[in-house]
Structure 1
Amino acid sequence: MSAGFFVTGTDTGIGKTTISCALLYAFAAQDKKVVGMKPIAAGSENGQWIDVERLLAASNVSVSRQLMNSYAFDSPISPHIAAQQAGTEISMAVIHQAYQELSTKADIVIVEGAGGFLVPINQWQSGADLAQTLNLPVILVVGMRLGCLNHALLTAQAIQAAGLVLAGWVANCMDPQMLALIENIKTLKQQLKCPLIGILPFTREMDIQQSAQLLDIKKLVIDHQSM
């Protein structure tokens, strides 16, 4: 089993944290030691970064917030702009070192990216560079809503162009009024060159542990030879 996965999405606010937490619970159910990592968090509420807190709660390995969250910014804006406003620059080396330490403490590290796959991280690098630096298989969260086909296929192309393994994708049903939902999922199953590992229905009541039961992590691809 790979030491970890990088979770990205077709947009920001698309359900990456929910899926990342669900993955942690799913692997924990296999008696794995698991820990979440949110290297860059942008957007706090009452002095807390909710994504970070949720990942900490879903992990069964105790680690410091600093280790699993190298950079935290108050404004919910692109990481490179948030870092500029804070008078700092995001370093891939710092994040990589934190990941290496986390990987010694857990069997599985689930790394949640910031925003979409190509969001700028600093003046020169993007989320794609972060995924490359960590060299992890990528799980794509597709927010099922109008425009998702284009966003999903473009993101998949970017992941593959970066030389990374697209390990699987999750259909996160966000719009209860979405037309042709089943047809859209069928289209992505045909065109994305990786397995669909789960469909999360639109609901306001399902908790994360219930969501974990909808993910078939055995389908995940972890190397090119498995494809």
Structure 2
Amino acid sequence: MVLDGVVQGLPLQTTAGELVKDFSTFLSSLPILAEILPKETLLWKLKMLKSASAYANSRLYSIQAQTLILCSGNDQLLPSQHEGERLLKLLPKSKCELRKFDGCGHFLFLEGNIDLVTVIKGTSYYRRGKHHDYLSDFIPPTPDEVRKVIETYSLYNLVATVMLSTLEDGRVVKGLAGIPSEGPVLFVGNHMLLGLDTIPLLCRLFSERNIIVRAMAHPLFFVRSNIRVKSTNCSGLNNPS
């Protein structure tokens, strides 16, 4: 947790105070830990773990289901990344993907910004049929997912163009209040600004009018890539590659 505080840019005094507090708590719990987990019990658990690991490894060949491996890129307790890469080589190539979370620690699902549902949706593993369909399997983003995207592109929003809309009475107002919320709306535009205004436009339409814009694109954009390993930051968003 202290390392997370340093990465997130918390004040040094706060981080140092948390470090001292955590270390004191750890020292005070050592005698209790020795009583709860004596040497004999620990050795027995390690033996059981080794036996279970050997059995699991011997059965990997029989796995034919589609598999998604999640691992932390900064696990200081166990070699999660190495183990994920090892499993990726052993499981069927056409049915296995590895998603690595750079900067995340050992307790991946305790990270505040990691949402397992978002990860599953982002990897197209949630679907109604055998293959993922971008229309029938579409799930609207949650408010938290939208917030993460908007925060990621906050610089774009700071330098975004001023957006105006026309109300039914003909008045031109600042903002998108004149955009209808019901029924299909077709937006036609060009790339005068090299498309840099696309991101602020999508964010503003969703935040102000609750409208999700679906762009018309070439079918090649909807073909799943053969990349089996993808890096993701702790916010759950893909790292640029």
More strand by share: 1
Quickly name the TM-score band, shorter chain normalised: under 0.3
Q: Per chain length, whose mean CA-contact separation is higher, i.e. which structure has more relative contact order (CA < 8 Å, sep 6+)? A: 1
**TM-score (normalised: structure 2):** 0.22
